Amino acid sequence: MSLNILVVPVGNSDHWPEVIKYLGRENGMELHVIYKVSEVYNALDEHSINIVIAEYSIPRINTNQFIKRVKKQRPSVEIILLSDTVQLSKAIEAMKAGAYDIYEFPVDMKLLLTIIGKAVEKQSLYLDREKLKEKVEGQFDLNNIVGRSKSIQHVINIARTVAKKNASVLITGETGTGKEMIAEFIHNNSFRSGKPFVAVNCGAFNEGVLESELFGHEKGAFTGAIASRVGRFELANGGTIFLDEIGDLTHSTQIRLLRVLQERRFERVGGNNNIVTDARIIAATNRDLRLLIEEGKFREDLYYRLNVVHISVPPLRGRKEDIPLLVSHFINKFNEREEYGIEGIASGAMQLLMDYSWPGNVRELENTIESAMAMSQSEVIEEKYLPSFLHITPPEEKKFYRISSSLTMKQVEDEIIRLTLEKTSGNKTKAARLLGIGLRTMQRKTGGYNKPKDSI
């Protein structure tokens, strides 16, 4: 991609000619040089400008007002300021106004290229989000969070209220219930909607990699760190960072995150410089954080910092009246995307969907509808096109188990876990999902349940 860089060397520094000459001979860059601030705004309309490099102390112009006007006209443009002298207090004000970064002359040219690259990386994140927003315009509008049940309407009402606030939000619910969609809805309906929404799955990385992902790292911070890297908190500055599977954080990462919540600043891995962030934090988990606190695996002070507003997303089996609406929504979605031409679903097929417990929640229902539409040879989804697991009601689901009233609570819990493991043929992952608990909790509670035993 060719970069369009607008240089505004309106100051008196002797270093500007060197900057212009160096950037002018870089391949892949189209350089525009303007010496009058009044002409900058026309240039932004005439050219697809990516980066503006301007004088920090613009003569007879309020620099912060200049920054705000540029960002209002072209929100995706990143502004880098250069000057012979920079006062820290004024630099902070410029950053708050929307400047990407500020540097004093003389600037190492290779460093300047690195700065431009990082600014473009941030800009790309913003542009990708805008393209997605255009493609699915309205998807996160209240009317498109599908469901009329009281439980999901309660979630919508909380999300609507908190979207206009700046408080941290903790979203809980089983896997597949749509926690990230709720988080995106909050972001897209907030005053931060023009800034990035950055999602991180905290359970997908080990401790060292996750801290680098969240906070970035400096060159040489660890083996393989051949260059500095911007972290997700920097990319989300001014916007929202969504921390999924927050219950999987290690103790040391919890401490670093707590500091970010308390002080709004952090250091990159291997770095010493404080980086200020204005990212709103929305966290999500399918685990019981209070139980993790009791077990000493999650910090109580971090929990209260994250849980300023709590949204509990109900499982699909608890709002089955929404299934017909969701089915209609997914049929329309996949018809538009793949042009399947499916007009609806047969009543028998709908009944099968209504009778199933949906341990994978809305995500599992969506995958089921997509599969049925791909397999369907008619204009209506019939029973025969639905996955085979919907056609079979396991005999154990029809049984009634009698548990003695003389058992202790621990024994009752053990018996329920044993019966569930029988149902899943010893598969602990499936059993944990059916019971609504995390896999680690299941593993902790099932020391001796490796093989199914005879039922009582």
Domain ranges of the chain: 3-132, 142-312, 317-392, 396-445
- Residue 30: left (phi > 0), alpha (psi -120 to 50), or beta? beta
Block residue for tokens 């990516």: 50
Checking 421-430 for CB contacts under 8 A at 24+ apart, the result is: 421/446, 421/449, 421/452, 422/396, 422/452, 422/453, 422/455, 423/394, 423/396, 423/397, 425/452, 426/450, 426/451, 426/452, 430/359
DSSP β-bridge partners for residue 172: 285, 312
Domain 142-312: CATH architecture, name and number where available: 3-Layer(aba) Sandwich (3.40)
Predicted local confidence at residue 439, as pLDDT: 79
Beta strand 344-345 with 275-276: parallel, antiparallel or unpaired? unpaired
The CATH label, of 3.40.50.300, 1.10.10.60, 1.25.40.10, 1.10.150.20, for the domain at 396-445 is: 1.10.10.60
Average pLDDT over residues 181-198: 91
0.85 cut: is pTM over it? no
Distance separating alpha carbons of residues 331 and 373, to the nearest angstrom: 8
Name the pLDDT band for 389 (thresholds 50, 70, 90). Answer: confident
Residue 143, pLDDT > 70, answer no
Burial of 328 (0-12, 13-18, 19+ CB in 10 A): middle
Helices within 203-250 (DSSP H only): 207-215, 232-235
8-58 tens-digit pLDDT = 998 777 889 888 888 887 777 888 999 888 899 999 988 889 899 998 888
Q: Given this model, what pLDDT does residue 126 score?
A: 63
What distance in Å separates the CA atoms of residue 149 and residue 421, rounded to the nearest whole number? 32
Find, among 436, 198, 185, 214, the residue nearest to 311 by Cα. 185
CATH superfamily of 3-132: Response regulator (3.40.50.2300)
- The token pair at 64 is 């912060």
Domains 3-132 and 142-312 fall in the same CATH topology: yes
* Tens-place pLDDT, residues 244-254: 999 999 999 99
CATH 1.10.8.60 fits 317-392, yes or no: yes
Task: Report the pLDDT averaged over residues 338-346.
Answer: 85
